[in-house]
Amino acid sequence: MLGFVLCWLAPPIVAADKPEGLAAIAAEPRLERRAKDALSYARKSVGRVAKAYRAGDVAGGERFLKEIQEAVELAKESLDATGKDPRRRSGPFKNLEIGTRRLMGELGEIEKEMNYDERDVLAAVQKRIEEINHELVMGIMSKKKN
């Protein structure tokens, strides 16, 4: 009887609820969920970038920066694929806009810690994220096309 009670009280052992990488996120069929997960992955990768650069692993830091850019692009593409008008159903688009703005701030903090010679890749990633953020703002705030 005690074994039954312990089994009943113990939480079930389940594989990780969150996807491990971008490939798993890209396989998510629900587009809005895919966008949310991709942004979450990008935000978590910022810590990985900082850790890699602090450890002197420049190649690893650059790899994580490129993953951040790919994740943000995946999130934007996923929301665009929903076919929803960002002006009328702005919730997911606004969440991504806010997330990309925060991401730019976090990357700006990493830039302060980096050597000047290592900032080229970071600058390119920041520029692309800023472009995506601008596209989101314009989509949400633009007037209706006639």
**6 Cβ neighbours under 8 A, 6+ residues apart:** none
Token code pair at residue 100: 């990309």
Distance CA 139, CA 142 (A): 6
| 15 assigned to some structural domain | no
| 7 assigned to some structural domain | no
Report pLDDT digits (tens) over 11-26. 443 333 444 689 999 9
pLDDT at 145: 60
| 111 assigned to some structural domain | yes
Predicted confidence band at 144 (pLDDT cuts at 50, 70, 90)?
Answer: low
Distance CA 67, CA 45 (A): 8
| 12 assigned to some structural domain | no
Token code pair at residue 20: 């491990």
Mean pLDDT of 122-143: 93
Domain range for 126 is: 20-141
> With contact defined as beta carbons under 8 Å apart, do 113 and 132 qualify?
no
pLDDT at 20: 66
Radius of gyration of the chain (CA): 19
Give me the number of domains the chain comprises.
1
Distance CA 144, CA 86 (A): 11
**132 Cβ neighbours under 8 A, 6+ residues apart:** 72, 73, 76, 100
- Going through 4-143 in order, the beta strands assigned E by DSSP cover none
Query: Does the structure show a pLDDT above 60 at 130?
Result: yes
| 97 assigned to some structural domain | yes
> With contact defined as beta carbons under 8 Å apart, do 104 and 129 qualify?
yes
| 81 assigned to some structural domain | yes
| 35 assigned to some structural domain | yes
